[in-house]
Structure formats: C-alpha cells, structure tokens
Structure 1
Amino acid sequence: MAGGPVPARHERLSVRALLGIEVVCDAFERELRAGRSPDWRAYLARGDGTNREALRAELVALDLTYRREHRTPAGARPEPAAEHGAGPPFTILRELGRGGMGVVYLALDPRLGRHVALKLLREGGVAAPDHVRRFLAEAQAVARMPHPNIVSVFEVGESGGVPFLVLEFVTGGTLAQWAAGRAVPPLQAAVLVEQVARAAHYAHEKGIVHRDIKPQNVLLALDGPEGPVVPKLTDFGLAKLLDSGTEETPTGAVLGTPAYMAPEQVRPDVGAIGPRTDVYALGATLYALLTGGPPFRAATPLATVAQVVADPPVPPRKTRPELPADLEAVCLKCLEKDPARRYATAEELAADLARFRTGRPTRARPVGWTGSAWRTVRRKRRAVATALGAALAAGAAFAVAWSVAPGPVAPGSPDKRADLLRDLDKGEPVELIGDGGEPHWYRWRGMASTLGRSQFGGPSVVFQTTKTTGLELVPDPRRDRYRVTAELRHLTLSSEADEHRKEVGVGRVGLFLAAQSDDCPDGTRFDRYLLLWYTDFLTQRGRPDQRRFACEDRLLAYRKNGPQSDQTIFVEFLFDAWYKVPPNGVGFPSPWRRIVADVSPGGVRVSFESQTGADDPWTVLSQWTVRKEDLRKARSGHENNPKAKTDYPEVVRRLATWSPRMPIGIVASNSAVEVRRVAIEPQPAGGDNAH
C-alpha cells in the first residue's frame, strides 16, 4: 500500500487516519511476502478503532489479492489464511441454495451469536484452480464494496483446503422467489431495480462488472419492522475486474444465465463486456418483474442464446397494455442489442427510473411507429426501405402523440362545474376525487401543470411542478360548515437538478383552503391560500428523522416576466408541527398521508394522519386548531410588511378576508404529488366544529 494512490472509498478520511491504515497494512503485507499466513483480524486490532471498516476492507483485500496471485499448484494443500481448527466454527442449520460452483448454508456463528450465510465450494478440497480463483475473486470483489444494496462479506477463510465465505444473511429470500413468476406493480418494479442499478454502478466505479445480474441474485431484506424492502445484489462469482490484466474466463467460454445475458457475452464482436453488460441484465430483470418472465426463454439454453443475439424483445405492453409507456421505454433501452444504444451507465438507468417514480418524463422515450419501423429497417433493410420512405411523413405526428404518457386528464367544463355545485347544494357528501381516480371538476391556480393518470397501478392522479401550483377542486363549498378529507402522497424522492431549479422534489404538498386571487394592471397575478401542507423529504439540520407539517397563510405573486415567476410576498405561520420518520428516511414509495380539515366560521380543526399498508388504520401524527381570531390576524396583519406596504397595499387589503365559502384544492411546490381521494362532507349547523 505504501506509495500508492489513496483508494477512492477513503477520500474523506483525514491524512492521519490514512497514514495509520497504511502502517498496519504495510506490516501485514510484509508478513504475507515472507511466506507466512498472518491473521488479518489480529492486524485489525492494531488500529485505533476509529476507522475500523476502512482498515478491515484494506486488510481483507490484501489477503485475498496475495492468495490469488500466489496460489499453490492444484492438488497441493495451501496453508490457510486464518486458523479454524478442524473446520469453521459455525453450526450449519440448513441449505439455502446451490449455484454453479458453490453451496450456501444458513449457519450460526457462536462467537457473535448471529446467523450468517456460509458459502463453500461444492468440490471441496479437490476444487479446480480456476474455480478457486473465481471463488476468491468474489470475496475480493465484495470485500471492497460496502454498500447498502450489496450483500456484505464478514469473513474469508480456508479450512482443510476448502475456501469459504461468511456473508450477511438476508432474510427475505430472492427477488425471483418473491415475484414467483407474477407481474408486479410497475412502481414497485421500478423502485427495486433502481436500487439494484445504484449498487451495480457502485461496483462499476470500483472497477467490477457483475456479469450475472438476475432476480435469483438479488436478495430482499426488510429495513426494520416497518421499513421498506431493500434489495441486495449478491453472487459476484462471475465478476470481471475491469482494471485487471488477466481474464478468469477461458477463451470461447460463455459464462452467465442465458435468459439474462447480454449479446456481447455470447458474441465478442458485438462489443466489449463492461458496465453496459450489467445495464442489459438490469433491463432483463425489470422486464421479468413487469411481465412475469425474462425477455427471452426458449426450450433449451442454446436456443435462448440464439434469441438473445438475433431477436428483438416483445414490448412489455404487448402482454400488459396498462403498463406506463415511459417505463416500457426505459426497459427496452436497456435491452438494445448494440451496447452503445443502452444507458451509458447504471447510474443513468437509476436516474431515469427515479424520474418515472416521481412522475417526471423519462429520458428514454416510448418507441412509436417510426421507431419500430426503423428497427425493422436495420434488420430487413432492403425489404422495407421503399415502404418506410413513403410512410415517414404520415407517421411523424402519430409518433409524437405516442410518446405522451401517462394520458392527461382534461380540465372540467362549465357543465361539470355546474353539476358539482348542484351536488354540493343537495347537502350530501361529494367525492371530489373518488374511486374512479379522476376529479369531478378542476382548474389550475398559480402555475399551471398537467394532470395525469397515475403510473403506479392505482386509481389516482398525479401532477408535478417546479413552482407553486394549486389544483382547485371546489370553487365554492356552498356552506359554512364542512369536512374536507384528502389522501395523497409526496412522490418526488430525488434532488436531481433540472433546468428550472436545483433540488427538485424537496418541496411540499398538501391541501389548500380559502383561496383568493387578484390581478394587477402590469399582468401580475396574486394568489392567497391557507395551506395545510407537509414534506416527507425536506429535513431540518440536526433532525434527520423528523419531517414538517405546517399551516400557513401565504401570498404569492405570479409574474409574466422576470427571474422569479412565482414569488412569496409574505407568509404567516399559524402552526408548525414535526412528525417522526425512520432514521434512514421514508420508504419507497412514500407513505400515504391523510389531511382532515373541519372548517367553520369559527376556524379550522386539522388532523394529519398516516397509513402504513393499504388495509391498515390511519394513525394520527399531528392535530391542531386554528381559530377565527388567528385567521383574521394573519389576513390583516401585514400593514407593516415593507413589501406589502410599498408595492402591494391594495392587493393585501383586497385579499384580507377569511371565509369558509372559498375555493379548495390540492397544492404542490417544487414537488410531485399523487392524489387518490378528496371528499367534502357537510357538517350540521350549530356550534363551531373548530372549537
């Protein structure tokens, strides 16, 4: 290690810490070069304890590298790197599975009292040298990659000439067992594959290509008793070291699983094996989750390989027409025969899946008529060239229309508005967004957006905005006392920058009441809201396990020109509450939240609630009451606000009233939101339900 570059995984360590690791590793390496078999655990104890994981990774990597490079000839019994007496000190409980080279057992480690996965070579002490090399290559690969979506290696050793790995035991079985040949909801599939893609990208950054990603090599762990399912990539037995000058695979050998192999794994002339090879396998895994089976599956492995090389995959929407077109486009981009046409990195794939997950357009676009025709031209160029030339102009408009997904929900007409008001006049509960998943009537307030049908398999609607946007659902509640109930979830989980604003998705979503508007001669439009909104993703410094729910009176200006098209003129905080989330944040997808507001002339009583599962009861996270006096003070207490006083005094005065008979709807700021139900229910007269 002396004199070498600082490993990328330790770039954030201090110089003192790096020097301490280097001193210990140099001593360990001297023992190895002297022909002895030092126990790396003893050297781990020489560290100061503050950078234990970094030191452990370096010692294990040194141990494995030396043993791979200096392995004794086949038939000889090498000296073990760690003494385990007659065998590893584990109690084997049952077999978990078998692969081409190894067998994995559930075992108990009595030293730490924990369950582990113990992996042994199937051939035992007579294993072929190339199998031993590949077995040790897996250990070396995983030992260098501490990542939440990669199964951890706890220990590497040999006993009686038999190499073994001690791995993290993951309780949920494999992704293949969980899916069980069924087609899973599209959002769930996207979320799982996104996380595996990020793990694969992490491995690629360490110079390692997996070469055998498939549902059978993804384990599922539960992140806490109520946390999300966490996929973990495992079985790096066929991994290729990109920076290695040697190749473990004999020339002409084909390694991998035919149904999930990329064409270049079969035909080297297609392209070199690299990160895009794993991108293909990730796409094949996504395909299997969306359709219930891999993209290619013939009667024999040889016939499957022939399909992989020559045939296009059947688009997933052919078998599941309800699948979102954007997600199909992502999947098919991964499965391109030409590696250059796939995502350049697994991180690019993960980012596109995040766009889908958060309701944003993906970079991969759905293939319309012209795209399909061009693929046919590439396969049968002479037979269709003339037909394509004649049809391109006619097909262009259709191809553009095909790329729009999900289909937009049309705004309400004047007739629908009149129908809604008649229903409200009856004094009965009205589902503003109900079982059908579409609004009874709506219009936009502030910055307009596009309301789409949910991509996530449920009867709900979605919209997104990089500004502040209101989805008005009721122009007039038609009474002074009522209850509004909204069920929604904050969708945008990433903070990826776009051309509008950085940190997209860390804004807020919720319910608005008492909306008012005013237009100025210069074209500026003002909107004032009573906002009951929250964020599942924006944390306050020092509070990583808490999120904020607030009630605000806010005045916004929307200008036709200028750097800020939506500007907050002032905001009055009426209450501010914090609620708990798991230490590592909310799961994927984020939980459904319910906002219940009892509105009357006396004020508003608010309940903010959460639901873990579809059939679980609602749990109250926060309750608050805003009285009439507070609302009046908020709406008229800005006479001393310099901006309001000098620039917009007339606007502030015109929008100073509070009344229950004002528009109601859903609001989002710098976020995407999914809404599955909004209802308004009249309350009996007499008494103020806000008290």
Structure 2
Amino acid sequence: MKQVCLMCGRGADDRNLYCQEAACPAEKSPLIFEHGEKLADIEILKPVIVLRASTIYKANWQNKLVYLKIAHEGQKHTTRLKREAILLQTVTEPDLYFLPHLQLPYPGAKEPYGQVVVQNQLLFYYIFDYVEGEPLSEVLARNPQPWIYHTCSIVSDLASSISLLQSLGVCHLALNPEMVLVNFSATRGSETVSPTSTRKPEVATILLLDLGIATLQAEASGQWYPGISHPAYTAPELLNEAYPSVSYRTDVYGLGLILYEMLIGQPAYPARLLDDKALIRVVREGKPVPMNRNKDVSPVAGIAEKAIRPDPNSRQAHASELSQNLKSTFKKIPSEKEVWWRKTDVLLKIAIGLFTAAFFIFLIFVTVSLLS
C-alpha cells in the first residue's frame, strides 16, 4: 500500500508522505492498494481513479474482472459509500445503462456493501461489473478538446444518468471528469474501431462511476460535506458550509462545468493551480476562464455558459433539459467521410487492375521466352 495526496497527487511507498506546501494535507492522505495486494478474496490489479471520498480499482474476484470501490477513512466517507451502494441496489434494468451494476459481496449478503479490517483499519467497499473504458479526466489530459460530437454525446449521456437520479429525487452534487468512465470503441457493421485508431467512432459510451452525495434532495443540504468534491467543480451555492443551498440546478452546474471544460480545453476554474481555499474564493466570484468557442460551436457554448451561471435560477432547470438542449442542437452524429482509398469498391477495382496487369505481364514474359 502507498499513500497518495488527494490535493497535489504526490505519493509515497513508505507511507510517510510529506509535502512542503502548507495547504497540502499529505500526511492525512489515504492508503492506496497496489497491484497484487488483496482485500478479502478480491485481488487488486490496479487503481483506476483516486477520488476525494473513495478509490476505484480494477480487480479480480471469483475469476472475473470487476471494479472495486473502497471508501477513504472517515465516518462521512464510509456513510456516503453505504448510502451509494444501497441506492444502486434499488436501480434496476434498463436504468443501469449509465450506472454501475452492483454485485453482492457474497451470496445471501444482507447489505450491498462489505467490510474488512486491513492493518487495524476498518474498510467499507462494494463491487460492481467491469466494463472497458478510462476516466474522462485521463481522456482530456491527452486530448483537451475532443471532437464536438463526442463532447455533446458524452455530456448528453451523463446528463441522462443525472436525470435518472433526479427522477428518483436524488442529488449528486460532486460531478467532475474523474467520475465518468468513457469508452471510445464502437462498431460499424463488421468493423470495430479501436480507441487507438485515428478514425472517429460514432459512439462514445459512458459509465457514471460515482453517485456523489447519493441522497434525496430534501436531505442533501445536511448530507453534503466539502471533502466529497473538488472546489473547482463545486457549485457556488454549496460553498456556504453553514447554509448550503441545494436543488436540481446544482447538478446542472456540474454538468455545465464538464461541458465547458471539454469545449475550451481546460477547466473553467484552475483546478490544479490553487489550493482549496483560494479556489473557493475564485468560484464564488463566478469568473471562469473565458469561453473561446462562441464562433465555431455557438449553440453548444451558450448551453455551457448558461449551465454554469452563479445564480441557480438562471441555469437550466434540471439535467433532462440540458440533455435535450444538446440533443436538439446535434440531433445525429454524422457518419465520417471515408478516405477514397479505404472504400471497398475502390480497393476491389485496384486489386482487379493489379491482377490484370500482372497477368498480361506474365503472358508477355512467357511469349518472349517461347520466341527466343
């Protein structure tokens, strides 16, 4: 196990993490499992993403790949994870399209989560089905401004998952790119487009890895706590810790921030450059990095700008409205234009031509040989 700071990302294998920056809580950072370590009968393969309240791992369990989520130490984190697991247990097909498919920790388990003691520390966890993909945060680190159709597709699907939660009366309140698993593999007929291909697949599928505060809107103000989310992705109305204000428009803000970031190629607020207290001041001022896509994709830029307005009443009313706005703007992802030499009929004609030419050359060679 090693220690990883949730703020600066520094790590230490000797579990004695130290950072010279006064604002960095390195010494209080969670312990992260590494490849080959075990939690009960679950073998850790690798950490997928370290969130503020939990860590998600790719793991091997009962001879199959799964995702394992372990809450960080602390009563608020463990209570949140239990509440999240119970919520996932209530969601059934076909609603699971964008949400994790929960697995019971053992047959006949009364609770959808498990607990185990590791090095004198009681850990709470739950298991869910494995699907291929990578966190959106990693995708954006490689390609800060994705294809606009992928951007709209990802955020629209993410909004649909939040809309499902809102239909159950549930708030998330902690959306950020780290919580979204994205898979760019797609199938066109018999052709599979791989993530490493230079061609753009038509579909980018998502899975919401974390349900945030995972509580009813009426109870959300009392359940929300600063440690669950990154300040750069926290709505201004939540930053008054004594009286946080919560509505469905709060999650619209989170969706808008992700859309905004994918459009401009960087976070709306400087997530990695400031400590939490400085970030909170910047977010409260409501002055994000200026929008630079008002000319080429003006309708989408307008949707993003509206969603992140400081005044909740000026945003879209709920996630489904934002999703519908995006779908009406880009109704159908256009098929990619084929490069001429990739077309099947062109390749066939070229092959026939080459074969014919080779045949005539062979005949000429044979004829010349016989005459000589």
Separation in structure 2 between the aligned mates of residue 294 and residue 617 of structure 1, nearest angstrom: 38
Q: 1:88 to 1:616 in 2, by over 3 A?
A: farther
Measured against aligned partners, the alpha-carbon deviations of 1:294-350 in whole angstroms (never above 9, x if no partner) come to 111153322221121113334422xx4643211111010101111111000110000
Cα pair 1:240 1:247 within 8 Å, conserved: no
| Equivalent residue runs for 1:604-615 within 5 Å | none
Decide whether the 8 Å contact of 1:158 with 1:164 is kept in 2.
Answer: yes
Which residue among 231, 235, 247 is the counterpart of 1:262?
A: 235
Deviations 1:356-382 (A, max 9, x none): 113xxxxxxxxxxxxxxxxxxxxxxxx
The residue that corresponds to 1:132 in the other structure is 78
**Could you say which residue in structure 1 is the equivalent of 2:260?**
287
Which residue of 156, 163, 175 corresponds with 2:136?
175
Q: Give the aligned partner of residue 156 of structure 2.
A: 194
2:100 aligned residue: 151
Distance 1:95 1:302 in 2: 28
The secondary structure found in structure 1 opposite 2:44 is: strand
Q: CA RMSD in A?
A: 2.8
Partner Cα distance (1:338, 1:245) in 2:
19
Q: Distance in 2 between matches of 1:232 and 1:347?
A: 17
- Contact 1:189-1:286 within 8 A present in 2 as well: yes
- Listed one character per residue, the Cα deviations across residues 428-467 of structure 1 (whole Å, up to 9, x for unaligned) are xxxxxxxxxxxxxxxxxxxxxxxxxxxxxxxxxxxxxxxx
Describe how 1:414-425 pairs up with structure 2 within 5 A. Answer: none
Specify the alignment match of 2:66 in structure 1: 116
> How far apart are residue 97 of structure 1 and its match?
2.8
Matches within 5 A, 1:342-361: 342-358=315-331
Q: Is structure 2 residue 68 aligned with structure 1 residue 95?
A: no
Inter-CA distance 346–237: structure 2 relative to 1 (3 Å threshold): closer
Distance 2:131 2:308 in 1: 29
Task: For 1:336 and 1:290, locate their aligned partners in 2 and report how far apart those are by CA, in whole Å.
Answer: 16
Show structure 1 runs of 5+ residues with no match: 1-85, 359-490, 492-588, 594-610, 621-691
SS in 1 for 2:262: helix
Relative to 1, partners in 2 of residues 1:256 and 1:103: Cα closer, same or farther, differing over 3 Å? Answer: closer
Aligned partners of 2:253 and 2:97: how far apart in 1? Answer: 22
Q: Per-residue CA shift, 1:148-178, capped at 9, x if unaligned?
A: 1222222332334532210222322111111
- Give the Cα–Cα distance (whole angstroms) in 2 for the partners of residues 168 and 343 of structure 1: 33
For the 8 Å contact 1:315–1:332, the answer to whether it is kept is no
Give SS of 1:272's match.
Answer: coil
Q: Do the aligned partners of 1:276 and 1:345 also contact (CA within 8 Å) in 2?
A: yes
Residues 616/233 of structure 1: CA separation in 2 closer, same or farther (3 Å cut): farther
Give the partner amino acid of 1:177.
Answer: E
- Alignment check: 8 A CA contact 1:218 1:234 kept: yes
Are the equivalent residues in 1 in contact too, given 2:213–2:220 (CA < 8 A)? no
**Which amino acid letter does the alignment assign opposite residue 114 of structure 2?**
G
Greater radius of gyration (CA): 1
> What CA deviation, in whole Å up to 9, does each residue of 1:102-155 have, x standing for no partner?
232221122xx42101122344xxxx4333211101212223334212222223
CA distance in 1, matches of 2:219, 2:294: 45
More helix by share: 2
Given that 1:211 and 1:240 are in contact with CA atoms closer than 8 Å, whether structure 2 keeps it comes out as: no
Distance 1:136 1:271, change over 3 A: closer
Name the structure, 1 or 2, with higher relative contact order (CA <8 Å, separation 6+): 2
Residue equivalent to 1:537: none
Residues 562-617 of structure 1: per-residue CA shift (max 9 Å, x gap): xxxxxxxxxxxxxxxxxxxxxxxxxxx24347xxxxxxxxxxxxxxxxx5xx6982
For residue 179 of structure 1, report the CA deviation from its aligned partner: 1.7
Write the distance in 2 (CA, Å) between the matches of 1:164 and 1:615: 52
Aligned to 2:223: 248
Residue 316 of structure 1: SS of its match in structure 2? coil
Q: How does 1:311-390 map to 2 (within 5 A)?
A: 311-317=286-292, 320=293, 322-358=295-331
- SS of 1:231's partner is strand
TM-score, scaled to structure 2: 0.66
Cα distance in 1 between the residues matched to 2:153 and 2:213: 25
Tell me how far apart the structure 1 counterparts of residues 134 and 317 of structure 2 sit (CA, whole Å).
30
Is the contact between residue 106 and residue 117 of structure 1 (CA under 8 Å) also seen in structure 2? yes
Give 1:387-426 correspondences, 5 Å limit: none
Do the aligned residues in 1 keep the contact of 2:71 with 2:124 (CA within 8 Å)? Answer: yes
Deviations along 1:238-279, one digit per CA (max 9) or x if unpaired, are 3332254993346xx564211111111113799721211110
Q: 2: distance between equivalents of 1:346 and 1:315?
A: 23
Q: Does 1:216 align with 2:165?
A: no
**Aligned pair in 2 of structure 1 residues 269, 328: CA closer, same or farther (>3 Å)?**
farther
